[in-house]
């Protein structure tokens, strides 16, 4: 064994987080990816319940393994949260699930207000790393295609609750103790579009996600339409008003443009965004082509150099 290691200078190796392409880190990234791709049937993951963010999107599991699970091979993911009774924080899957159900089970599925989910966000609070919060409006495909490859940002869909519930439908029925995933009201079916159980979750989740933002926040808006900032969008109604100027230093608008842009950073709707934004929060707008964003993801351009 000693002969095999001859010539290796272990003392000069960079620290694990010293660079983006650390040789050991890169090895484990590829190994973790291959390991996840081979998974089939029922998969189990153990998370640390003694920390606030039991699910960390930047962890090896959150950033590599979770995205590499093949839905054609994996039937079910069992999440086990290991609680430390002596630790400052505890997360319990059964508690989270039962609290989630309390919001809508046994209730009229057309009368579920956003506040019904407040207890859920208390037992499973949203946390995001500094400078990593990414909002979006009309750019979901671009945002997630970029972020799935680079892991540069955290969207609401990357949080514990957001990742589990994204693209799902659920509701309860009066007199029943069950959760239903079919026969539920459509997204826009309820009075004033405010009391759909799924819409109410994402409404409150968007507000909580914005409240958790700190440092520099980013939003991708669509520059191929006449009104990139839509005052009736989730971003305008629930996220912008909940940005905390005591925590958020600046909001950067990444205006995603097509070959022939329709809007630029001087667009009147973006001026309206500036007016709605807390005056203590800085504002910046950058016009970035969708082609450039795709190139950044494909060519491993660092998070700080794409725009």
**What pLDDT score was predicted for residue 89?**
47
Q: What is the C-alpha separation between 206 and 165, in angstroms, rounded? A: 13
**What pLDDT score was predicted for residue 301?**
87
**What pLDDT score was predicted for residue 192?**
63
Residue with tokens 């709707």: 269
Q: Once rounded to an integer, what is the mean pLDDT over residues 189-206?
A: 86
pLDDT tens for 263-279 read: 999 999 999 999 999 99
**What pLDDT score was predicted for residue 78?**
81
pLDDT tens for 132-151 read: 999 999 999 999 999 988 99
Label residue 72 by pLDDT band (50, 70, 90).
Answer: confident
**What pLDDT score was predicted for residue 160?**
87
Taking a C-beta distance cutoff of 8 angstroms, is the pair 91, 121 a contact? no
**What pLDDT score was predicted for residue 175?**
94
Label residue 88 by pLDDT band (50, 70, 90).
Answer: very low
**Domains delineated in the chain:** 23-91 (3.40.50.720), 92-298 (3.40.50.720)
**What pLDDT score was predicted for residue 174?**
96
pLDDT tens for 24-71 read: 888 888 899 999 988 988 888 888 876 667 788 888 998 899 989 988
pLDDT tens for 224-259 read: 999 999 999 999 999 999 999 999 999 999 999 988
26 or 112: which leads in pLDDT: 112
Residue 109 has pLDDT above 90, yes or no: yes
Residue with tokens 């002596």: 86
**What pLDDT score was predicted for residue 71?**
84
Q: Once rounded to an integer, what is the mean pLDDT over residues 65-94?
A: 73
- Tokens standing for residue 128: 């995001």
Half-sphere exposure of 4 (CA within 13 A, CB side): 1
Q: Once rounded to an integer, what is the mean pLDDT over residues 85-113?
A: 81
Residue 111 has pLDDT above 70, yes or no: yes
Label residue 10 by pLDDT band (50, 70, 90).
Answer: low
Q: What is the C-alpha separation between 223 and 74, in angstroms, rounded? A: 38
Average pLDDT value for the chain: 88
Taking a C-beta distance cutoff of 8 angstroms, is the pair 245, 278 a contact? yes
Q: What is the C-alpha separation between 37 and 21, in angstroms, rounded? A: 22
Q: What is the C-alpha separation between 138 and 304, in angstroms, rounded? A: 23
Residue 154 has pLDDT above 50, yes or no: yes
Q: What is the C-alpha separation between 42 and 29, in angstroms, rounded? A: 22
**What pLDDT score was predicted for residue 87?**
45
Work out the percent of the chain whose per-residue pLDDT is above 70: 87
Q: What is the C-alpha separation between 160 and 56, in angstroms, rounded? A: 8
Sheet holding 215-222, edge to edge: 134-137, 215-222, 248-257, 282-289
Half-sphere exposure of 269 (CA within 13 A, CB side): 18
Q: Judge residue 184's burial from the number of C-beta atoms within 10 Å of its C-beta, 0-12 exposed, 13-18 middle, 19 or more buried.
A: buried
């Amino acid at each position: 064994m000693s002969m095999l290691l001859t010539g290796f200078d272990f003392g000069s190796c960079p620290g694990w987080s010293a660079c983006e392409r650390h040789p050991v880190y890169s090895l484990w990234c590829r190994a973790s990816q291959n390991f996840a791709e081979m998974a089939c049937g029922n998969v189990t993951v153990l998370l640390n319940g003694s920390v606030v963010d039991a699910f960390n999107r930047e962890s090896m599991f959150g950033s590599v393994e979770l995205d590499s699970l093949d839905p054609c091979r994996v039937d079910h993911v069992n999440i086990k949260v290991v609680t430390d009774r002596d630790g400052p924080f505890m997360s319990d899957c059964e508690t989270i699930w039962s609290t989630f159900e309390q919001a809508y089970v046994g209730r009229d599925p057309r009368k579920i207000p956003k506040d019904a989910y407040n207890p859920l966000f208390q037992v499973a609070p949203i946390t995001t790393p500094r400078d990593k919060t990414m909002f979006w409006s009309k750019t979901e495909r671009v945002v997630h295609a970029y972020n799935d490859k680079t892991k540069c940002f955290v969207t609401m869909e990357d949080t514990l609750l957001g990742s589990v519930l994204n693209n799902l439908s659920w509701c309860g029925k009066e007199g029943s103790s069950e959760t239903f995933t079919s026969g539920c009201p459509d997204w826009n079916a309820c009075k004033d579009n405010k009391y759909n159980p799924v819409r109410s979750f994402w409404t409150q989740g968007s507000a909580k996600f914005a409240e958790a933002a700190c440092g520099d926040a980013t939003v991708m808006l669509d520059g191929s339409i006449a009104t990139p900032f839509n005052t009736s969008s989730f971003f305008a109604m629930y996220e912008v008003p909940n940005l905390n100027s005591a925590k958020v230093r600046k909001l950067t608008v990444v205006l995603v443009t097509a070959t022939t842009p329709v809007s630029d950073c001087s667009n009147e709707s973006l001026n309206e965004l500036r007016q709605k934004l807390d005056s203590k929060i800085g504002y910046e707008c950058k016009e970035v082509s969708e082609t450039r964003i795709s190139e950044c993801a494909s060519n491993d351009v660092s998070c700080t150099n794409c725009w």
